[in-house]
Copies of this chain bind each other. A is one copy, B any other.
Amino acid sequence: MRQVSIETGITKHAEGSCMIRIGDTHVLCTATIEERVPPFIKGSGQGWVTAEYGMLPRSTTSRMRREASAGKQGGRTVEIQRLIGRALRAGVDRNALGERQITVDCDVIQADGGTRCASITGGWVALRLAVNKLMKTGDVVTDPLVDPVAAVSCGIYAGQPVLDLDYPEDSEAGVDGNFIMTGSGRLIEVQMSAEGATYSRDEMNKLLDLAEKGVSELVAAQKAATGA
């Protein structure tokens, strides 16, 4: 596992914010509270948590085209931000949150593999800080964040199971997965795919073992950062 650091209070405007650094992958996460919800849950008394993801054009080795100027978010971006939102919601009691929306923005400042996992882990911290504010003011009474959410990638690189792939490892790995879990060790989402390859259930289990170790380390870092 690469070095993990989580620095909170990065921007003065957001209700919650942090810069998460996992090795050379740096992601700025902010959480915004809005007193409105999407149409499909209006009047239900439940809240919503959603996420958006972006990469700064020069967060990568060579410059990527800015999506705003390309005129649309690419398929990879859309897929990742749907994943982040789904993952965070799994740790939230939406009744306790009440009819409001929290949007978590994850913007990659520097990329070196594992940006979607760093976004989920850092996004949870931003969400935690924003919810703390709602509880301080009494807008929310019961803590809606029932179990912390964190994510790590693992893969089979050079024949060996490897935890927390950096970019060079990730681009070589024939099989890699993203494992999203809770602080209490439950699974939220497993995405394990092979590009031009296949894998056995035994190999899958080895990666799950690694991921469990990685996630518990990340959850500890989240707790340290939020004083929980």
Contact = CB atoms under 8 A, between A and B. Distances in A.
Interface string A86-101: 1001101010000000
Contacts of A105: 56-58, 63, 66
A190 B203 CA distance: 13
Contact of A186 (B190, B198, B208): B198
A187 B208 contact: no
11 contacts: A32-B58, A52-B66, A54-B68, A57-B105, A68-B70, A78-B79, A90-B196, A90-B197, A186-B199, A187-B194, A191-B193
Nearest to A55: B68
Interface of A: 10-14, 17, 24, 26, 28, 30, 32, 34, 52, 54, 56-63, 66-73, 75-79, 81-82, 86, 89-90, 92, 94, 103, 105, 107, 109-111, 147, 177, 182, 186-201, 204, 208
Contact of A192 (B34, B190, B195, B197): B190
Contacts of A194: 90, 187-189
A148 B123 CA distance: 39
A89 B196 contact: yes
A87 to B, nearest CB: 8
Interface of A is mostly: mixed
Contacts of A177: 190
Contact of A14 (B58, B92, B188): B58
Contacts of A26: 11
Given A86-B195, A190-B191, A196-B89, A68 B77 contact: yes
A17 B56 CA distance: 13
A75 B76 CA distance: 9
